[in-house]
Amino acid sequence: MIAAVSIIMFMVMILIYFVVKNQTMAKELREFRHLARSAENRSRFALTTVDSLAAQIQKMLTSQLESAHKRGLIKGEPYEHTSAIFKGFETVVMQCCEHGATVEEALKRALASEGKSLDDVRKFISEMPSEVRVPWVKNNVGSFVIACTNIVNHFTNPSPKKEISDQSEAS
């Protein structure tokens, strides 16, 4: 009889242990779900912010490019290549941020819609000064933004070396 009571008590203790353990796990699961939801909301907000910033930067770069084109600072193929890169700017940034693509992969997709090839852009970039080439080869979003900004700066603010060589040719 004592053995039966002790076995029943032991079973009740095990039952209580598992009930408490189950409640603790359910509480942790609720906390993890809450954390996952809040992380998803923060992630969605961050992507929305990045998207709007990329759109604004694209507008700024495009307007600076158009201004340089109207003033005759950039013409022909350089203008076409730069324009194609800038038209795909937002797409490239979002592909990299959302899907983890490299700049090269994202730019290849964006250029396909413009009818340009990545090889044409590579050739164009290879002719740019090192302020453009160095960030470009890093193949990440931050460097892509810097390279695009430096492309515009290269055409809108000619370097002193270029001005000096232009003046010496005119003499």
Range with the poorest average pLDDT among 139-143, 156-160, 162-166: 162-166
Indicate whether 132 belongs to any domain. Answer: yes
- The lowest-confidence range among 14-23, 76-85, 107-116, 153-162 is 153-162
For residue 71, being part of any structural domain is answered with yes
Three-class SS state of 171 = coil
Predicted pLDDT of residue 171: 40
- Of 42-46, 84-88, 97-101, 154-158, least confident by mean pLDDT is 154-158
Inter-residue contact 47 to 97 (CB < 8 Å): yes
pLDDT of residue 170: 43
Same domain, 92 and 125: yes
Tell me what the mean pLDDT of segment 138-147 comes to: 92
Residue with the larger pLDDT of the pair 124 and 113: 124
More confident residue, 159 or 31: 31
* Res 165: pLDDT: 38
Whole-number mean pLDDT of the chain? 88
Q: Do residues 144 and 114 share a domain?
A: yes
Separation of alpha carbons 150 and 155, rounded Å: 9
In this structure, are 68 and 86 located in the same domain?
yes
* Residue 134, in any domain of the structure: yes
Same domain? 133 vs 65: yes
- Residue 164, pLDDT above cutoff 70: no
Instruction: Provide the residue range defining the domain that includes 19.
Output: 1-39
Residues 53, 28 share a domain = no
Q: Is residue 83 part of a domain?
A: yes
Total domains in the chain come to 2
The pTM score is 0.73
The Cα angle at residue 116 between residues 61 and 50, in degrees rounded to 5 = 40
Let me know whether 34 and 52 are in one domain: no
**Is residue 131 included in any domain, yes or no?**
yes
Q: Identify whether residues 35 and 57 lie together within a single domain.
A: no
For residues 85 and 148, membership in a common domain is answered with: yes
- Please report which confidence band the pLDDT of residue 159 belongs to, taking 50, 70 and 90 as the band edges: low
Q: For position 3, what pLDDT does the model report?
A: 87
CA distances from 137 to 114, 133, 142, 143 (A): 22, 6, 12, 8
Q: What is the pLDDT of residues 104-117, one digit of tens each?
A: 999 999 898 878 88
Q: Is residue 23 part of a domain?
A: yes
Q: Are residues 20 and 59 in the same domain?
A: no
Task: Assess whether 20 and 61 both reside in one domain.
Answer: no
Q: In terms of Cα–Cα distance, which of 89, 79, 82, 88 is closest to 113?
A: 88
